[in-house]
Structure 1
């Protein structure tokens, strides 16, 4: 895995747009996750029985509060942390982003074992010391096994080679925010990092496809154009057909009349990664606004939290932070941390050399994102 390309030229307007899309992506993914969490695992009939004829149309209690997020959001935040650390460590000549992402995911795994951040080392950085992240939010066994030791899964020797679930894709939106990178490199990074927990080719390629769709949106493309460009990129990769077919199915479903939970359930299929990706693309394409798109994404027979997180990441990257429902944002668990991390990411990507380049370094920045492994 080699690194990115020279980044874009950042004027004030471009910086503001990028920051809004970064915030939108991370907050949108978290909102979708939080919306789907209370009904995760329920059928569409079960959701209507619990929440009325229209299904779930507002945040509801899960994990002891409204607006609670799950492991999807936790891991997405550690993806951002790992990407920032990779950029900072590049100054040392150590440039292997999958390794930095793996270390970040191991820091997440520690939050699932430890009572709190008291034992965190200085080199773990600030995110690992956020106490609210020390909560188990139904992580699937695949994640815990994949990150249960220090050995990093690779494409040649992946962890859990039979695992085809959506969890790797659901943490991969931040890779798409590397807007200065070539799209092929975005796909490659997401695929390599997916193999650290989900080794099935469908899971890896779905993560890569999702990341590069977000990449197109963050660069100002329409969702339809971003999906079609992703299909062209996937075509050169062995084993792409299930993911490509699922994306084509999503595009075709848009022309089949008014959206229904049944159509989303059909796209989700057996709840593997390509089906959840297709459902998310469909919901983001047909939703009249963010709220409607997210509600459609969680009211079906499949994994609602993953579908909501994937859809929210797309809608946030497409429309930016200002399009997200303010009332939901006000109740979102961890919102201050998400905003802080989003702004740090935008700062690193637009002004990184001034923070830790050869001409000088900010001690405060290096305390937040240490160069030490």
Structure 2
């Protein structure tokens, strides 16, 4: 049966969270290091890289990555869902200032990696703390607040809700995500947010396939982001197993990735604005979607075993596959373990967003009909 809207929204958000939790413990490492550490490829949920010394072992300390714990990707995604649940309409950069910032600095939530209830601000990365610095303390125009920030995947990683609210309308998702992300990112970091949201929206189309999702992303992406997705996709279609695709996909995206070969020692030109570069995470996520042919396990495990920023890659890949096929695509045992380990209700955000998506569609329909009526009156003399 064709998945319903509610099923696709649930699949996307649960799929993203599970991908995030699977990728967290091996984030920052290479496929070779992952292979050596785990005696083979990752095939499910694993423990921390440094075992019981996760509290003090650098460079991960003090975060408990592993054992089914979600990371900041999911925390930010769920925070954005709560913003939608408050606004109950399309969002823009001002919604980030008025609603997302208070979510980050005023409302404690359970932080799985800290094993404590805390403000999201105490977990999110510096590029996300920028939102608070610029908007809450600097009072910068929200539409321009992303300028000057680290250019990374920070805005893209939590844009799945924008794609889901604009389900089957990727162009609208792209535009809305660019507006929202303007408060957080600039350059190719902001562009990736728009393209990722569009990919999720495209995946909600009843006739969507992995190939059509990538084609939609290419039709909207600009500059280095488009070139990177195109280069990775050209390579990805030659493979159907992620093991053989790991090195070729990295080679395809490398010319566009400003970070460089050593993920933990970025190059001098890393993460600076550019029309020639792209974040690595989105092209690789879409590449793994093609390699895995839309199968959740193959796609997400490919993203996880790719290493580097693999929690975000797997988050994006999981969100797209979940939107394509619904919740049944996500292994139920993985979802159950992640929910229990992270102490999160993975279904509640989906239910909330589903209600908002339907309300927004009704508002959009009313607005469109009002416009059609006004336009008809304006052009009546032409008939």
- The reply to whether residue 326 of structure 1 matches residue 332 of structure 2 is yes
Q: Is the 8 A contact 2:165 2:356 kept in 1?
A: no
The aligned counterpart of 1:143 is: 128
Deviations 1:174-195 (A, max 9, x none): 1111236853332121112222
- The reply to whether residue 49 of structure 1 matches residue 50 of structure 2 is no
The aligned counterpart of 2:93 is: 98
**Separation of aligned partners in 1, 2:18 and 2:42:** 14
Shift of 1:160: 4.3
The structure 2 residue matched to 1:38, chosen from 9, 18, 25, is 25
**Separation of aligned partners in 1, 2:346 and 2:214:** 27
Q: Is the 8 A contact 1:294 1:311 kept in 2?
A: yes
The aligned counterpart of 2:154 is: 167
**Separation of aligned partners in 1, 2:120 and 2:96:** 20
Q: Is the 8 A contact 1:267 1:275 kept in 2?
A: no
**Separation of aligned partners in 2, 1:213 and 1:284:** 11
**Separation of aligned partners in 2, 1:104 and 1:77:** 13
Query: Alpha carbons of 1:292 and 1:223: their partners in 2 closer, same or farther (altered >3 Å)?
Result: closer
The structure 1 residue matched to 2:7, chosen from 20, 24, 32, is 20
Aligned to 1:61, the other structure's residue is in SS state: coil
Query: Alpha carbons of 1:327 and 1:219: their partners in 2 closer, same or farther (altered >3 Å)?
Result: same
Aligned to 1:337, the other structure's residue is in SS state: coil
The aligned counterpart of 2:199 is: 213
Query: Alpha carbons of 1:267 and 1:85: their partners in 2 closer, same or farther (altered >3 Å)?
Result: farther
Shift of 1:57: 1.6
Q: Is the 8 A contact 2:21 2:338 kept in 1?
A: yes
Q: Is the 8 A contact 1:71 1:137 kept in 2?
A: no
Shift of 1:275: 2.2
The aligned counterpart of 2:59 is: none
Larger RCO: 1 or 2 (CA < 8 Å, sep 6+): 1
Q: Is the 8 A contact 2:232 2:283 kept in 1?
A: yes
**Separation of aligned partners in 2, 1:339 and 1:39:** 26
The structure 2 residue matched to 1:202, chosen from 146, 163, 188, is 188
The structure 2 residue matched to 1:311, chosen from 313, 317, 324, is 317
Worse-matched range after superposition: 19-28 or 74-83: 74-83
**Separation of aligned partners in 1, 2:193 and 2:337:** 28
The aligned counterpart of 1:71 is: 72
Number of residues paired by the alignment?
312
RMSD: 2.9
Q: Is the 8 A contact 1:166 1:276 kept in 2?
A: yes
Shift of 1:265: 2.5
**Separation of aligned partners in 2, 1:353 and 1:184:** 15
Query: Alpha carbons of 1:147 and 1:135: their partners in 2 closer, same or farther (altered >3 Å)?
Result: closer
Aligned to 1:67, the other structure's residue is in SS state: coil
Shift of 1:325: 0.9
Give the TM-score normalised by structure 1.
0.75
Q: Is the 8 A contact 1:69 1:137 kept in 2?
A: no
Deviations 1:103-125 (A, max 9, x none): 343134226xx8x469xxxxxxx
Deviations 1:28-84 (A, max 9, x none): 11111100100111122221121113x222111244461101111010111112223
Q: Is the 8 A contact 1:265 1:302 kept in 2?
A: no
The aligned counterpart of 2:173 is: 186
The aligned counterpart of 2:85 is: 84
Query: Alpha carbons of 1:174 and 1:352: their partners in 2 closer, same or farther (altered >3 Å)?
Result: closer
Query: Alpha carbons of 1:296 and 1:153: their partners in 2 closer, same or farther (altered >3 Å)?
Result: farther
Unpaired segments ≥5 residues, structure 2: 49-62, 111-115, 260-270, 272-277, 363-383
The aligned counterpart of 1:366 is: none
The aligned counterpart of 1:280 is: 285
What aligned pairs does 1:288-303 form with structure 2 within 5 A after superposition?
289-303=295-309
**Separation of aligned partners in 1, 2:161 and 2:191:** 16
Query: Alpha carbons of 1:68 and 1:152: their partners in 2 closer, same or farther (altered >3 Å)?
Result: farther
